[in-house]
């Protein structure tokens, strides 16, 4: 049996529930993190906690993230998770009048899941009919539990036989996919949309920008720039770097596999380095 | 004791809970309706059901709204609600891989609440630093359980001693408040932002547009037009029409009470008419 840690209480997975009055349920009023667990170690745990803490501050949810580390350790042991997913969600909890919250007690949910299937071959992107929620409307660089834009875009991609959706921002600039960041290579320079485009400040995005041996530029550009890209790949902490083969129905195609592998290998090396340097604590 | 109808099951209010795996909790993946109950009759019930049905279709949540009428009737009787609030929420339920839903069973939650305190005096609006989520990102004309933009704007207004927030869209045009639509009068013409501005298609907005005896125009305009308005008021089904006295920190002020009362009276007459014509069924 798998367990969930709900407000620091171990609960069998199929019994974990929250009040319907929780603002997480009523309004999607919360923040979450998804971590990859490799060899029983949650990769870049500190980085995720720092983003979670900042996100909670920005949306003004009171929650001390300090105790989450020990709670995660406890749950990973309990569920004997070796390789998989660790998800931490914090919502504002119950209380308030309509949209105005009261002094609420945050709800924390920590859960694990098996590693999802990751496509082995290069993937297709569907050019979404939805645009991204702009950073002027929500602090979208954090993982907010406001997932309807991603859900609708992902469903549309799936309807069209594509693995993921490419979502543009209001200015028509490339932003990200429903669940990942995007990169492209052109003239040996690696490009990824700037945070000002309204993209998630993804952990894998940050790692690639840190480790890449080529020049990296943050861009505010439309899809026409992809026509001359030599490779396109999408990233999140579960996929690492997934090569993209085409943009549908736009028609652009790339041979992304070889170039993506370079970055995927960098990430896999970093996972190993992280396990060596941080693994003992877990 | 008050009850909640959770998936057509009567549950004591403090025991009603949903699985943490519900997409309503994980992603705010749902739609809701808030109805005013006057003299035991949920005002404009059919209108709300039509909007709910359309919203569910647009976000592709499978749920037959037909049985909700009898369920609401049952709950109103059980909770002996005479005057108050009826809230109906439908989420996509549990299932799927990340953002991509599976064939899920929707979750329905029906609950009642006492009528909230409505300000007796004209209210102040805070000019929000947040912009609205554009309709290109989400079908915002429906009441989605994506309430973080409204929550953040409402908290900021409260910090600044204002009852509500005035939220502009990405183009700098007047959109709506965190929980209501806005109207203004100028030269005996009533204006309200067009749906293209990214506003909720509010029930009270629709009723006023239907019943107003003056000309009504849907506008895409910035706050500078409010300088020459003779009155400003905000609407939702609980407030009806609330006069606005000032926009902070912009500094504009209005004598909105008398003109707002005309529209409030229209709405109160409509409530009475609705009860006469539809009350027997409840």
Q: Using one digit for the tens of pLDDT, what is the confidence trace for A203-244?
A: 999 999 999 999 999 999 999 999 999 999 999 999 999 999
Q: Which of chain B's residues have a Cβ under 8 Å away from the Cβ of A6? A: 20
Check residue B188 and give its pLDDT: 96
Check residue B107 and give its pLDDT: 98
Q: Is A23 on the interface with B (CB under 8 A)?
A: yes
Model confidence at B202, pLDDT cuts 50, 70, 90, reads very high
The complex's ipTM works out to: 0.97
Check residue B112 and give its pLDDT: 98
pLDDT tens track for A125-152: 999 999 999 999 999 999 999 999 999 9
Report CA dihedral (B238, B242, B244, B248) to the nearest 10 degrees: -10
pLDDT tens track for B120-146: 999 999 999 999 999 999 999 999 999
pLDDT tens track for B96-126: 989 999 988 999 999 999 999 999 999 999 9
Query: H/E element holding A183?
Result: strand A181-186
Q: Where are the beta strands (DSSP E) in chain B?
A: 3-6, 9-12, 17-19, 30-38, 41-42, 84-91, 107-114, 123-131, 164-168, 174-177, 181-186, 189-193, 215-219, 231-236, 240-248
Check residue B211 and give its pLDDT: 97
Q: Do B138 and A149 touch (CB under 8 A)?
A: yes
Nearest C-alpha neighbor of B112 from the set B138, B75, B141, B143: B75
Q: Is A4 on the interface with B (CB under 8 A)?
A: yes
Q: Is A59 on the interface with B (CB under 8 A)?
A: yes
Scan residues 139-178 of A and list those with Cβ closer than 8 Å to B.
144-155, 158, 170, 178
| B145, two tokens | 């359980």
Distance between CA atoms of B185 and B28, rounded to whole angstroms?
Answer: 36
Q: Do B146 and A146 touch (CB under 8 A)?
A: yes
Q: Is B29 on the interface with A (CB under 8 A)?
A: yes
Check residue B117 and give its pLDDT: 95
Q: What's A158-181 look like in SS3?
A: HHCCCCEEEEECCCCCEEEECCCE
Q: Which residue ranges of chain A lie beneath pLDDT 70?
A: none
Chain B residue nearest residue A172, CA to CA: B136
Give percent above pLDDT 70 in chain B.
100
Model confidence at B217, pLDDT cuts 50, 70, 90, reads very high
Chain A residue nearest residue B102, CA to CA: A155
* Region at B49 (left for phi over 0; alpha for psi -120 to 50; beta for the rest): alpha
| B153-175 mean pLDDT | 98
The model carries a pTM of 0.97
Check residue B11 and give its pLDDT: 98
């Amino acid at each position: 049996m798998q367990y969930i840690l709900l407000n620091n209480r171990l609960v069998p997975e199929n019994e974990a529930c929250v009040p319907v009055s929780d603002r997480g349920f009523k309004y999607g009023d919360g923040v979450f993190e998804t971590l990859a667990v490799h060899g029983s170690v949650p990769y870049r745990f500190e980085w995720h906690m720092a983003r979670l803490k900042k996100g909670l501050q920005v949306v003004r949810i009171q929650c001390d993230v300090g105790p989450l580390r020990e709670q995660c350790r406890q749950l990973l042991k309990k569920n004997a998770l070796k390789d998989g997913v660790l998800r931490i969600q914090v919502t504002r909890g119950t209380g308030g009048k309509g949209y105005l919250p009261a002094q609420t007690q945050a709800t924390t949910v920590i859960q694990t899941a098996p590693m999802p299937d990751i496509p082995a071959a290069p993937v297709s992107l569907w050019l979404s009919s939805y645009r991204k929620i702009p950073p002027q409307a929500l602090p979208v660089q954090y993982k907010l539990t406001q997932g309807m834009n991603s859900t609708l875009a992902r469903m549309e991609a799936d309807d069209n036989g594509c693995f993921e959706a490419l979502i543009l921002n209001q200015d028509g600039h490339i932003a990200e996919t429903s669940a990942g960041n995007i990169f492209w290579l052109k003239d040996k320079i690696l490009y990824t949309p700037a945070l000002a485009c309204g993209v998630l400040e993804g952990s894998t995005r940050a790692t690639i920008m840190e480790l890449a041996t080529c020049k990296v530029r943050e861009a505010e550009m439309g899809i026409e720039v992809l026509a001359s890209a030599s490779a396109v790949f999408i990233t999140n902490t579960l996929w690492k770097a997934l090569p993209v083969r085409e943009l549908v129905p736009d028609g652009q195609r790339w041979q992304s596999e070889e170039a993506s592998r370079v970055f995927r290998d960098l990430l896999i090396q970093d996972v190993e380095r992280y396990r060596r340097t941080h693994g003992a604590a877990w």
